[in-house]
Amino acid sequence: DERITITINDGVYTEKVKVHSWNSHLTLRGRTPGGVVIRWDDYFDKMNRGPNSTFHTATLLVQGDDFHAENLTIENTAGPVGQAVALAVEADRCVFDNCRMLGNQDTLYADGANARQLYRNCTIEGTTDFIFGGATALFENCTIHSKSNSYITAASTPQGRPYGFVFLNCKLTAAKGVDNVYLGRPWRSYARTVFIKCDMGSHIRPSGWHNWNAPEKEGTVFYAEGANT
């Protein structure tokens, strides 16, 4: 019933970590920014659990509501080998402050039934669909770093939910040679993603969005941009 804070000493922790649903109101706090690295290397083919293998790859899996994280680096070190989640959040009222999520495809899975999540002053990097899922999630003052020509988001917002992914005051950057990146494509038909007051690098395609080769989704998704530079 009360918040429990675990302070983590600086170091590299090579392990998979799971915060169970019954471990609510938990805070994991690194002592210094960038000093704590949690990493593992599971990926889709390695898991060999059928079409849902992606969802078993996470380095850190959060299922407990009211989870907080501060000063952590969460990394999937499998490399460019397909779906490989660094952080999966399937819980409500979760907050990530000054954290780094590092990977390639499917770096951050933000999901959960009616889940609301906040990512503030974070760095999220990846290649394809590296921010995906159905949560209502606000990304505020974050750096979103593309490592290849592909797609940043793949929202799966459930039908009827008013908000999906919201990027506010974020900076979109890219690795050297990356010059052809979409803001997003709809993993599900009612995906909702908006970018507001963001600084977008020249790697972002003028067209912005892709329909995932399903033109009918253009009639159901909500994709928007406002006051960006």
Q: How far apart are CA 1 and CA 151, in angstroms?
A: 40
Q: How far apart are CA 151 and CA 75, in angstroms?
A: 19
53 SS3 class = helix
Beta bridge partners of 7: 29
C-beta separation of 106 from 80 below 8 A: no
Helix%, strand%, coil% for the chain, nearest 5:
5, 45, 50
Beta bridge partners of 193: 165, 223
Catalytic residues: 106, 129
DSSP string, 82-129: SB--SEEE-SSSEEEES-EEE-SBT-EEE--TT-EEEEES-EEEESSS
